[in-house]
Every structure is written in structure tokens, then in C-alpha cells.
Amino acid sequence: MWKYILKRLLLLIFTLFLVVTATFFLMQIMPGTPFTNPKLTPEAIAQLKSTYGLDLPLWQQYLNYLIGAAHGDFGISFQYQNQPVSMLIGQRLPISAQLGAQALVVGVIAGLFMGAASARNKNNKIDGTLGIISTLGISIPSFILGIILVYLFGFKWPLFPVSGWGDSFSQTILPTLALAMSPAAITTRFVRSEMIESLSSDYVQLAKAKGLSAKEVVNQHAYRNSMIPVLTLIGPMAAGLLTGSTLIEQIFSIPGIGQQFVLSIPSKDFPVIMGTTIVYSAMLMVMILITDILTAIIDPRVRLQ
């Protein structure tokens, strides 16, 4: 087990290195410099480039970046004057993480209930309604839902604030709901099919034969067993939420890392683009690793190699 985790961690570092390298060189293809103000004279641009070390040969810039990154120094943002990238990300990541975590908790809990309700009422009206809701949840992008929520609960019935972050908890409700819809829908469908399967499985038949009540059968046996595999879904869903919150952050004016990432690209803020990409990919890989380990722990049939 430990050997497996160690191996995966080493692989993770190598993958990160590949991501850094690919991003670094891809960025060089982007046209222009971070200094796009047409009023800057060529001399001024040359001066700025040398201050930021952008006049060095490419391999040297690359090497400097790698050495810096290995020491946790991701450079200084061009767009946010003065601010180190690690500080920018450090301030914004917790905001996105909180949003993502809230959405995940709300989504998964709602999904567990809806999935179970759906399975136990298989093929009747409740199942049908929940089926429609979960299909919509999967197919409607979160940013569309976000705009609908803003319209309904921000303006039609102004119950919740529609922009900002950090002043009151109420600000987090609409973006959380918008983001929670997709995990809720995924969990619903997953739990429903798992539970239908376990309801018709031998051990449930046996439990019924033992004379347990329907409630006990479901709660003690079917439900618990069909909930466990949901754990394996949480990894990819969490990664999806983190990267998917970009547009939600834009709609609700939330100063998260997604918003930062989007703004840094047109302004050619190289250090921020690099730093954010590294953080995103590291998180995605860690999530996948955690999912793999969890799967192995939960289901001993999965062999670790």
C-alpha cells in the first residue's frame, strides 16, 4: 500500500514537471508581451523586460522558473503590481475551496436523498420527477443555472445578495446552489442505480426472508452499501467543481482563483498563468490519487499495483 502511494506520488511530481514545461513553452506562442499598452516606447518595453528577466534566453528563463518553483517562489504578478503569485493564489484559493466544498456537501447530501427516494419509488411519479430533475441538473451548465438563480432570487424575489463574497454568509447561497446542482444530479443517478441493484441482490432478498421490515432492509443493508461507492465519485466531482467554478465566480463577482485565472490570460500575466495551472493540475492529480486509494480501501477487489 505505502509503496503504491509513494510510487503514485513520484509519478505525480513527474506529471507536474511535464505540465510546467508544456505550459511554459506554450505560453511563448501567445502573441505579444504582458506590456501591451501601445503608449510604451520600445525602449520602455525593453527596460521592463529586463527588470522582469524576460530578456534572458528562453532556456534560462525556463531554468530560473523551475528553480524558483521548486523553492515555492512562483514569481511576481505583472497585472497585480507587486503581489507575489503565491500570495495571490494563497488569498484566492481558500475562497474557491470554500465555495467548492459547500457545493459538494450540499450536492452530495441532496443527491443521496434524491437517489434513495428515486430507487425506492422506482418507476412511479416520484422517480420520474427526480429523473427529470437530475437529467436537467446534468445537462444545464452551472452558469446558466447561476443566471436563472440571480434572476429569481436576486431580482424577482430579492431574498439573497447577488454579488460579492466575505461580507455575509447569505452571499454564498446562490453560487453554492448553482454549483451544487451538477454533483447533486450525478449523485442521484449513481445512488439510484446502485440501490436498485442492491435492492434486487441476494443479501437483500435474504434480509427480507429473515422477516426484517422494509424500512430495516433499506436502512441497514441496501442504503449503506449503495452509499459507499459514492465516495469514489467525490474526487472527480471536487476537481470538476474547482475548475468549473470559474464562470460562477465571474457571475457572482467572487474573488476566487478561477476568476483570477481567466483575467490573467488576456493580460499575459505569465507568472499567474503558470502558478494557477500548477495549482489546478496538482489538485486534480491529488484528487485522482485519493479517489484511487479510497476505491481500493472500500472495494478490496480492486488491486493496487
Partner 1 sequence: MDTWKKVAIGAAAVVVVGGGTRAAGLWGGSSSGSNKNLSFQLPTPIQTLDISKNTDTYSGTIIGNSGSNLMRVDAKGKAKLELAKSVKVSDDGLKYTVVLKNGLKWSDGSKLTAQDFVYSWQRIVDPKTASQYAYLASGVKNADKIAAGKADVDTLGVTAKGNTITFDLERPLPQFEYLLTFSNFMPQKESFVTKEGKKYATTAATSLYSGPYKVEGWNGTNNTFKLIKNDNYWDAKNIKTKQIDVQVVQKPETAVQLYKQGKIDRVSIANTPELYKANKNNKDVTKALEATTAYLQYNQTGKNKFLANAKIREALNLATNRKELTDQVTAGISTPATGLAPQGLAKTDSGEDLAKFVAPGYKFDPKKAATLFQEGLKEVGETKATFTVTSDADSPAAKSTLDYLQGSWEKALPGLKINQKFVPFSQRIKDSQTQNFDIVVSLWGGDYPEGSTYYDIFKTDASNNNGQFKNAAYDAAVNKAESTDALKESARDNDYKVAEAALLKDSNFNPLYFRSGYSLQNPKVTGIILNTTGLNQDWKLAVKK
Q: Which positions lie near partner 1, rule CB under 8 A?
A: 30-33, 35-44, 47-48, 50-52, 79-84, 87-88, 91-92, 95, 113-114, 116-117, 120, 126, 150, 154-155, 158-159, 161-170, 215, 250-251, 253-255, 259, 263, 266, 268
Cβ atoms within 10 A of the Cβ of 295, count? 16
- Tell me the closest approach of the beta carbon of residue 101 to partner 1, in angstroms: 18
Distance CA 56, CA 8 (A): 35
- Tell me the closest approach of the beta carbon of residue 215 to partner 1, in angstroms: 8
- Tell me the closest approach of the beta carbon of residue 247 to partner 1, in angstroms: 11
What's the full length of the chain, in residues? Answer: 305
- Tell me the closest approach of the beta carbon of residue 204 to partner 1, in angstroms: 17
Alpha helices in the chain (DSSP H): 2-29, 42-51, 58-70, 85-120, 125-139, 142-149, 173-199, 202-209, 214-216, 224-227, 230-251, 257-264, 270-298
Distance CA 152, CA 136 (A): 18
Distance CA 302, CA 44 (A): 60
Distance CA 89, CA 13 (A): 20
Distance CA 25, CA 274 (A): 11
- Tell me the closest approach of the beta carbon of residue 127 to partner 1, in angstroms: 12
Which CB, 114 or 287, lies closer to partner 1?
114
Position of cell 475548475?
A: 243
- Tell me the closest approach of the beta carbon of residue 132 to partner 1, in angstroms: 17
Which CB, 226 or 291, lies closer to partner 1?
226
CA-based angle 203:206:210, to the nearest 5? Answer: 140
Which CB, 7 or 158, lies closer to partner 1?
158
Which CB, 252 or 291, lies closer to partner 1?
252
Which CB, 141 or 255, lies closer to partner 1?
255
Which CB, 41 or 305, lies closer to partner 1?
41
- Tell me the closest approach of the beta carbon of residue 291 to partner 1, in angstroms: 27
Judged by phi (left if over 0) then psi (alpha if -120 to 50, else beta), residue 32 lies in left
Which CB, 35 or 280, lies closer to partner 1?
35
